[in-house]
Amino acid sequence: MSSAASSAFDGLRVVTFESRQAGPMAELITRQGGVPIAAPALREVPIGDNPAVFEFANRLIAGDFDMVIFLTGVGTRFLAQAIETQIPRETWTGALARAKIVIRGPKPLVALRELKVRIDLQAPEPNTWRELLAALDANLPVTGLRVAVQEYGKANSELIEGLEQRGATVTRVPVYRWALPENTEPLREAIEAIATGRIGAVLFTSAQQVVHMLEVAAAMGRETELRTALTDRTVVGSIGPTTTETIRELGLTVDLEPEHPKMGPLVATVATRWREVGKPRPDSDLV
């Protein structure tokens, strides 16, 4: 093992709950000298019969929206795929050009660039609803505007309420829902490994991963042991404030959070600082 790897994870077994980015996440952990344990905890499922999407598209084309807010990259792509089953891309993206386009973070930026859509405002890091509202207040006040919000797995009630309190008329556009992976065996095995003290660190990249992990642990009858391990023995890394807030609301501890809410900084932060947390390293991790 190289000296660089030894100074980082040093062979620590690290659970990642990523689904779509499971491969890149495992590679990042390996580069930092860790042993990645993939336990996908989330599946994004497009809403099949979703009249809200076509109502949004038709109203957009009719000029009913002054602003459209895109919150996620996968949601932007699902929205485009659904609309384009009935409406040509150039028709609805042309209508977007007549509205102000606001995004929460870098993922919808990539998706909208693929659609050749102009972007008027992007919220700064850590890209939560708080930064989004602050950016709107400073640059594009929403008082009196008709605003459509592309939602993700659940409604962002804080954002919706914040927009309405500022005088906007808000239309929610639900696009997909969250579900457990079709195969939950890797997640179950990871929960058992954490509960029995065989995992050195866990990395959460979304709040819903935590919710699903606890749901599956409860169904296994291992929630109490899992919670104890995450509190006393396993280093917990969170990608950013939104995920951290949920972890804490669910009664768990967050040990490390990167300065920038991205996978690379998350892995690097935990790799270089896990010893500082002071939790005992599992004996079975030693190489």
CB atoms under 10 Å from CB of 101, counted, come to: 18
Q: Which domains does the chain have, with CATH numbers?
A: 3-42+180-285 (3.40.50.10090), 45-178 (3.40.50.10090)
Confidence of residue 1 (pLDDT cuts 50, 70, 90): very low
Question: Strand, helix or coil at 15?
Answer: strand
Q: Which two tokens stand for residue 63?
A: 């000029």
**Rounded CA gap, 282 and 13, in Å?**
9
**Rounded CA gap, 81 and 91, in Å?**
14
The three-state (H, E, C) secondary structure of 178-242, written as one string: EECCCCCHHHHHHHHHHHCCCCCEEEECCHHHHHHHHHHHHHHCCHHHHHHHHHHCCEEEECCHH
Q: Name the one residue in this structure whose structure tokens are 């969170």.
A: 238
Rounded to two decimals, the pTM is 0.87
pLDDT in tens, 24-63: 999 999 999 999 999 999 999 998 889 999 999 999 999 9
pLDDT in tens, 102-124: 999 999 999 999 999 999 999 99
